[in-house]
Structure 1
């Protein structure tokens, strides 16, 4: 037979809920519920408006980049292509650097790949600029 530390048998009676302020219905409990719902709706609205603002800024930047590319293509196609190559190389190199930072045990392959990609991009830009200024077209 099991007993408690005082030597008595454990109480097998069903537990009766003691009336306290947490379980009793009343205005305090209703206000807490409404306060929780209002807090949830406020957080939801703030998150929604934040996402809308981020999307609007992202779309404006994308439109600006596209307009810049169209304008640049009219000025100098070779320079526009080299700029795109440099931007893409930088973006991929940045991702590779973050991957290397997040995986210290596999750092060297990522860093080597980023260095090779940067070198290839720089050589490609040099050839594009050289080819556009050689006068052989």
Structure 2
């Protein structure tokens, strides 16, 4: 009677280790994918800035300022105390853009490409 109990315990341990390894590999793959996407976003943003600066520095600086103002508004909407009522569409879009930009900055920080 002790043999089947020991075998079932062994199988549970093997399944647990397999589940742990599957979750670990999935998490590592997800981290790598986010890092690659963040590094590509930084590289494309830098290339767009250089290309735009060569064409028209005034328009490029204006677009960069508008983007920073939009992200700043999103950060303000995200971090301020919540008020009653539903936020507008622009506030929601700005807050979501700020959150995505914050995640990209966090992952691009370890990129080594900046």
Q: TM-score, normalised by structure 1?
A: 0.56
- CA RMSD in angstroms comes to 2.5
Q: Which residue of 2 aligns with 1:94?
A: 74
Q: Which residue of 1 aligns with 2:82?
A: 104
Q: Please give the alpha-carbon distance, in whole angstroms, between the structure 2 residues aligned to 1:83 and 1:42.
A: 44
Quick check: 1:81 aligned with 2:67? no
Q: Please give the alpha-carbon distance, in whole angstroms, between the structure 2 residues aligned to 1:85 and 1:30.
A: 61
Q: Please give the alpha-carbon distance, in whole angstroms, between the structure 2 residues aligned to 1:41 and 1:63.
A: 33
Structure 1 gaps, min length 5 = 1-18, 108-113, 115-137
Residue 20 of structure 1: how far off its partner (Å): 8.6
SS at match of 1:69: helix
Residue 39 of structure 1: how far off its partner (Å): 0.3
Question: Deviations along 1:56-104, whole A, 9 cap, x unmatched?
Answer: 011111100100000000000011111110111111110111123xx22
SS at match of 1:104: coil
Q: Please give the alpha-carbon distance, in whole angstroms, between the structure 2 residues aligned to 1:37 and 1:91.
A: 43
Q: Please give the alpha-carbon distance, in whole angstroms, between the structure 1 residues aligned to 2:42 and 2:20.
A: 33
Structure 2 gaps, min length 5 = 85-90, 92-114
Instruction: Please identify runs of 4+ aligned residues in structure 1 that moved more than 2 A.
Output: none
Task: Please list, as runs of the form range in 1=range in 2, the aligned pairs for 1:24-103 lying within 5 A after superposition.
Answer: 26-100=6-80, 103=81
Q: Please give the alpha-carbon distance, in whole angstroms, between the structure 1 residues aligned to 2:60 and 2:27.
A: 37
Q: Which residue of 1 aligns with 2:96?
A: none
Q: Which is higher, the Rg of structure 1 or of structure 2?
A: 1
Q: Matched residue pairs, number?
A: 85
